[in-house]
Every structure is written in structure tokens, then in C-alpha cells.
């Protein structure tokens, strides 16, 4: 092992993961990309959780720097960016579904069980697609 210090506060894998996407806003952005088809800054701002513009800009920058998302210019308006999950981001599908299953089981949520099952199936397809790449 080189003498280079890890970028995380500790070598714990949970700590490393939480330092990348451990705040609520990052996970909600990933959710919106993965399951709600949102791709633009304006679409993220329209999320019912009501993220502030400065926080959204900060989280998008951080997720991009961590390799979770990527951007490309909007083909219609080159001044705008289109956001997408990378392979690293898509690999989070089972984790997000696990969070949803846990919360649906133990907390009062508004997600119908049928929708949760459908999202779990979609996550499985995402994982299969990633594994084929």
C-alpha cells in the first residue's frame, strides 16, 4: 500500500459511502434520476421535497466529482446540462430499493406496495444492464 492517505475520514466502507451520498439531497437526486426520469436542473427543482437552488448545485457538483453522475450539453439548448447516472451510480439501485423497502415496512409512507414492487423490478433490470456492460 502506498503512503497516500485515503480521502475519507476513516477506512470504513460505510463512512466512505456516506461521505459520497450520505445526505438526503444526494440520495433524492439519485432517486429522481433512477426512478423518475428527471434529467435537468429545472426538473430536480420541481421535486416535491423542495430543494434549494444552492444546495442542488452543490450536490450535483459533488455527485459528478464522485463519479455518480455525468453531464452532457442539452442538444436543444447547449447552455443547459442533461444529467445521467454513471455505472457507479446505477449500481446504487439495489441500495435505494432496500431503503424504500425498509421505510415502507417500518415507517408510514405513501408508496403503495405495488409501486415498490415495480421499482424493485426496474432496479433489477438496471443492475442486469450494468452487469452486461
Q: Across all residues in the chain, what is the average pLDDT? A: 85
Enumerate residues 6+ apart whose C-beta is below 8 A from 70. 64, 83, 84, 85, 86
Q: Which domains occur in the chain, in start order?
A: 11-85 (1.10.10.10), 91-133 (no CATH)
Can you state the angle between helices 53-65 and 24-35, rounded to 10 degrees? 80
Mean pLDDT of 79-96: 92
* pLDDT on residue 130: 63
pLDDT at 124 over 80: no
pLDDT tens figures, 33-62 = 998 899 999 999 999 999 999 999 999 999
pLDDT tens figures, 18-27 = 888 778 899 9
Q: Name the residue with cell 421499482.
A: 119
Q: How many secondary structure helices (H) and strands (E) does the chain include?
A: 7, 2
What is the DSSP code (8-state) at residue 129? H
* pLDDT on residue 107: 81
pLDDT at 2 over 50: no
Amino acid at each position: 500500500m502506498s503512503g497516500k492517505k485515503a480521502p475519507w475520514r476513516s477506512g470504513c466502507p460505510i463512512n466512505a459511502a456516506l461521505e459520497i451520498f450520505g445526505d438526503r439531497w444526494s440520495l433524492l437526486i439519485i432517486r429522481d434520476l433512477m426512478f423518475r426520469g428527471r434529467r435537468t436542473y429545472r426538473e430536480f427543482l420541481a421535486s416535491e421535497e423542495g430543494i434549494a437552488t444552492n444546495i442542488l448545485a452543490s450536490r450535483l457538483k459533488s455527485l459528478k466529482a464522485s463519479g455518480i453522475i455525468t453531464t452532457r450539453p442539452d442538444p436543444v439548448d447547449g447552455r443547459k446540462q442533461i444529467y445521467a447516472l454513471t455505472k457507479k451510480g446505477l449500481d446504487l439501485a439495489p441500495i435505494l430499493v432496500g431503503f424504500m423497502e425498509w421505510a415502507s415496512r417500518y415507517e408510514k409512507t405513501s408508496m403503495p406496495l405495488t409501486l415498490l414492487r415495480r421499482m424493485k423490478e426496474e432496479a433489477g433490470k438496471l443492475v442486469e444492464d450494468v452487469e452486461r456492460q
